[in-house]
Structure formats: structure tokens, C-alpha cells
A and B are shown apart, each in its own frame.
Chain A
Amino acid sequence: MQPPIRHSDRAPSPRAPDRSHASARRMAALCPLLVLLVPFLAGVALTAAQSLGWLLPIAYLPEQVAQGLSAPDRWAGWRQLAQPHMAGSLLLGLRVAGVSALLSVAGGALLAYGVWRLPARMQLAALVFRVPLVLPHIVVAFLVIVFWSRSGLVSAALYQAGIISGQAQFPALLWSGDGMGMVMAYTYKELPFVMLLAVASLRRLDPRLVETARMLGAGRWAVLRDVVVPHLVPVLHASFLILFLYAFGAVEIPLLLGESTPAMPGVAAYDLYFLRSLEDRPAAAALLTLLLLCCTGFVAAYVRLVAGLRGRERQL
């Protein structure tokens, strides 16, 4: 393969065949990924098809149709979604994903700033923040139960301190319908993720900028707001989007810390798919298609929002 030669507009004759050659080479470079991209796209397409009753693993036999059993019409699965508890489930997903991603990004940025400012000899000890990266989601959910349930360690500590006199006085933080336990689990699991990215980004920030701002009379919060955060903004936007999308669609933490009504959207689809009758499969597929569409919509809206904010900054 030759080094990519950039053709200028002054050499028009070899341009057209060469461009097709370059795009063919591009296609060839992407070929190995098709092994994984094709199953992904096929899976998404099959889910969408099944939501319309096509290509389902079950089919109605002619004699069943003669007995009056018939396949539901195309949009039955989608109509089944038009129920209040589905809206509740989507709203819960939005709230849990939004709050946990916001807390992780804000807390992660602050803690990363703290780690970055530590003297060099303390940097090694600060690596402790990577522990939750190694813990799987299901173990983080278990830790939340160990610490924050009514029979957990925080409740025991408050009892020993004489603040509460029994388990019943400890507020029901988990399984109380507002998804608080899931928010705690996601936030704890994702904080180190944001910190990892933010510390790496801060290492590219010249510390003299902070010193200069301090010398020119900026307070601590002004330094944070006007020097550090603007430097971190791209990383924070990217990690917010990643964390939000993950928490919106994942099932592992909700399986341990969530409830059945309102269920997180992923768990609602899981229940429809596995715990109900086969006739609910189109509805499960419809819900999953809706989730995929929502996530794609979030990405598009977020990218546009960030681009808009940047555009406004440039104008100022």
C-alpha cells in the first residue's frame, strides 16, 4: 500500500479513477469489521421486523387459523406499548440514566481535578479510584445493597450512633420506586470511568494556566469554572452521552436493584420477552425497537445541542 497522496485540483486527469481506487481500498480496510457489523445490523433489523410480526420464531398453522386463532395484525405489538406503565418505565429510564450520568460527570470531573492537583508522590496512592472499574455491574449492585439497604452498614452505623432506633426508621432508599438504588449503583460504577478520561485530559493541560489564573486573582471556583471545566468539556460531553445511553438500556443493575412496576425499559422488554406468553414477543420487539430509536434520537439531539453551544461560544 502506498502512502496516501493528496491530489490537488490542478491534476484532473488521473483523479477520477484514483478516487474510486481509494474508496475501494477504504472498503477493503473495513471488510474485517463486517464479521461483527453484519450480525449487529441484522439483529437490529430482525428486532424491528419482529415488532411488526414478521420473522417471528413462532407462526400460526393453517388449522389454528381455521379454529379462530389468528396472528395479530402488523401494529399489535406497537399498540400494546401504548399503556401508562410503559410511559412510566421510559420516564424512569430517562430519570435514572440522566441523574446518574449527571452525578458521575460532575463528581468525576471534581475528583479528577483533585487527583490531578495531588503532588507526584501521592499519584500512585490515588490509583485506588480504579477499583470500581474492575468490579462488574452486578457486584456494584450488591455493594449498594450491603451499604444502603435497611439492614445495611449505613443503617447499622446510624443505629450505633443513636440517630435511629431501629431498621424501620432508616429511609427506604432501595426498591422505593424512584430508582434511587440504581442511581447510586450507576454513579459509583461510572465515577472512575469519568475520572480516568478526565485525568488523562487534564494531563494535557498546562498547570501554569491554573497558576496564572490564581495570580491574576481568580478564586478556586473561578479557576475551576473558567480554566479547568472548559478544558474538560469535550471529555465530559462524550462521557455523559456514553453513560446515559448505557444506563438507559442496560438490564444487569436493574435486575438486582430495580422493581417490576415501574421497571427500567430494558427490564420491561426482558419481562415481555421471557416471562410472558409467546404472543407478547412482537410487543417486546417493539419496545426494544423503540429503545433503539430513542437512543439514536438522544445521540442526534445531543450532538446537535453540543454543536449549537459551541457555535454560540464562537460567536461570543
Chain B
Amino acid sequence: MSPRNGKGRGAGWPSGGADSRPRSHPRSHPRSSLGSRLFLAVLWLLFGLPLPVLALWAAAPGWAWPDLWPAVLGGRTTAFVLANRQSIAGALTSSTLYSLAVVGVTLCVCLAPARLLAFGRFRGRGALEGLLLAPALLPAMGFALGLYGTLVRLGLADTPAGVVLVLSVVSYPYMLRALASGFETVGPDYGHCAANLGAGPLLRLLAVELPLLLPAAVAGGSVVFLVAFSDYFLVQLVGGGGVPSFTGYLFPVLQSPDRALAAMLSLVFLVVPVALFVLVEGLVLAVYRRRGM
């Protein structure tokens, strides 16, 4: 799909781009605005199209092949969502809460190791980093099915705690990487200054490092949240229906032939991550503005 787009763009370039280039400043981007617009249109067609199509499907339960535009619009899926609002809201809330808990757990657990990975120079560092990142690279099923019996014996199966534990295991490497590169960007000097001025490890972490690491923590936290919130298999396995999740609610509908309802619920799914990201971006901006950074 994409290589063809690349070629299409290349073919579109020369005619529009040739005459404007000599006039442009050497450091400005040389591509003509026609080529840029074409490229942007391809980008929107490729990545922006799914959302309107989902919305159209949700609004047109009777849309049938070969109509390119639905013959009639109807409110059946909206009525379904309204009628089942309690179970939908329950599933969304549960998913949001356990995903936020996963973000919290991974943030707490990764801070000290991230500092070590960023500043520590010692033998076996590469091997250690590989080991620490392994849970995100290796198939999650490989450890989850082995651990499942133990979780049952420990009483963690079918509980939110078990779900948070397993999701934290597969998602902490993203937090670790983000925080480690955050520490690398900030550098060790702020921490050293605070230590020289007599701050203990905890004060140094809370008052100096954590505020500086905010962008890295937000980036890592967003990925961790998305991984946890989008996960279907692990939540079903460990939550076993005892922990409601929106993906668990959505999956059987996606498998059913009811495309309109599947489209509607997919859109409902997106509400939480999108709202949360807008909120977090706003909060980070507000915090930095207040601190004058």
C-alpha cells in the first residue's frame, strides 16, 4: 500500500517542484506546496478515513453491498448504546481504572532502574537492558499461560490485582525506555546539585527529578495506558470475566456480522484514550506554564 503512495508522490513532485526550488531559501523546505498538499491528502486518505467510515457505519445499520453511501440512516446503534449504557459505562470505567493502575505501578517500579540504565556504566549493561526489555519483545502468552495456574493458587486470577500485575509485566519496558531516555536528556547534574545541597534520595526524586521527567513520564505513560487499555487476550485470561473490560465487551461484537454495532462500539472505545490524552496534554502545558518553564 504505502510504497505505491511513495511512488505516486515522487511522480507528482517534479512538475510542481522544479520552478519553485531555486527561489526558496536553502534552509526552508524546498517542496512545492502542490506536492505537499498532495502528500497531505494521501496521508489523510490513508489514516483519516477509518474514523468517518466507522461513524457512517454506526449511523447506517442497513448499509449493504454494493452501496458506497448508505441508502438510509438509522439510530439503532445509538439506541443500543443508550439502552446498555450501564454495562458499557461499567466496562469503560473498569478498563480505565486498571489501565491507570498499570501506569502508576510501572511508573513507580521503573524510576530507579531507569536512572541506573541512563547513568550507570558497568559490565553486562547491555545484557541487563536486554533482559529488562524482554517482556515486551517475547510473546505474552509464553509467560501468561505458565503463570496462570500460580495466579489461581494465589487467588489473583479473576481479580483486578491479577490483571494489573500481568498487564504491568508486558508494558513496563515502554515506561522503562521512556524514563531512561528522559534521564539521559535531563542529565545527572540536577540530581547531583540537589544531593550536594543536602536533599535525600526521596526529596531529590520528588522535587527535582520527577518534574524534569514529566514529558518522558507522560510519553511512557501514554504508551503503557494504550497497551493496557487495548489489550484483549491477557485481560480475558487473567480477568476471566470477573474483571469487566471494554475490549472484552467489544470483541464478540467485532466477531458478529453486525458491522454497524461493531463500528459504534469501536468509536465509543476511542472516547477514553482521546479524552485522556487531550486532558494530559493540557495539564502538562498548564504545569509548565505555571512554573514558567
Contact = CB atoms under 8 A, between A and B. Distances in A.
Interface size, A (range): 35 or more
A295 B135 CA distance: 11
Given A40-B169, A43-B143, A136 B149 contact: no
A128 B47 contact: yes
Contact of A135 (B29, B255, B270): B270
B40 A122 contact: yes
A31 B115 CA distance: 13
A214 B27 CA distance: 12
A192 B169 contact: no
B66 A156 contact: yes
Interface in A32-55: 32-33, 35-37, 39-50, 55
Interface size, B (range): 35 or more
B43 A289 contact: no
A157 B113 contact: no
Nearest to A164: B66
**Which among B106, B137, B192 has the greatest number of chain A C-beta atoms within 10 A?**
B137
A242 B227 CA distance: 14
B273 interface: yes
Nearest to B110: A33
A262 B2 CA distance: 27
Contact of B141 (A133, A207, A269): A269
Contacts of B250: 138-139
Nearest to A35: B109
Contact of B145 (A146, A256, A284): A284
A270 B233 CA distance: 10
A107 to B, nearest CB: 3
Given A29-B113, A30-B116, A138-B247, A47 B146 contact: yes
Nearest to A140: B50
A87 interface: no
A285 B137 CA distance: 18
A296 B138 contact: yes
A243 B71 CA distance: 40
B108 A46 contact: no
Given A115-B43, A251-B233, A273 B112 contact: no
Contacts of A248: 139
Contacts of B277: 134
Contacts of B233: 251-252, 255
Given A35-B105, A46-B146, 5 more contacts: A32-B110, A111-B43, A117-B29, A156-B68, A288-B142
Interface of B: 1-3, 5-6, 9-10, 13, 26-31, 33, 36, 39-40, 43-44, 46-48, 50-51, 53-54, 57, 65-68, 105-106, 108-113, 115-116, 119-120, 122, 130-132, 134-147, 149-150, 152, 165-166, 168-169, 172, 176, 188, 191-192, 195, 201, 226, 229-230, 232-233, 247, 250-251, 254-255, 259, 262-263, 266, 269-270, 273-274, 277
22 contacts: A29-B112, A32-B110, A32-B113, A36-B165, A107-B2, A114-B39, A118-B40, A134-B273, A136-B229, A138-B230, A138-B232, A146-B263, A147-B53, A151-B65, A155-B66, A156-B67, A188-B1, A241-B137, A242-B137, A248-B139, A288-B139, A299-B130
Interface of A: 1-4, 22-23, 26, 28-33, 35-37, 39-50, 55, 57, 103, 106-108, 110-111, 114-115, 117-120, 122, 125-126, 128-139, 141-143, 145-147, 151-153, 155-157, 159-160, 167, 184, 187-188, 191-192, 207-208, 211, 214, 220-221, 241-242, 245-246, 248-252, 255-256, 266, 269-270, 273, 284-285, 288-289, 291-292, 295-296, 299
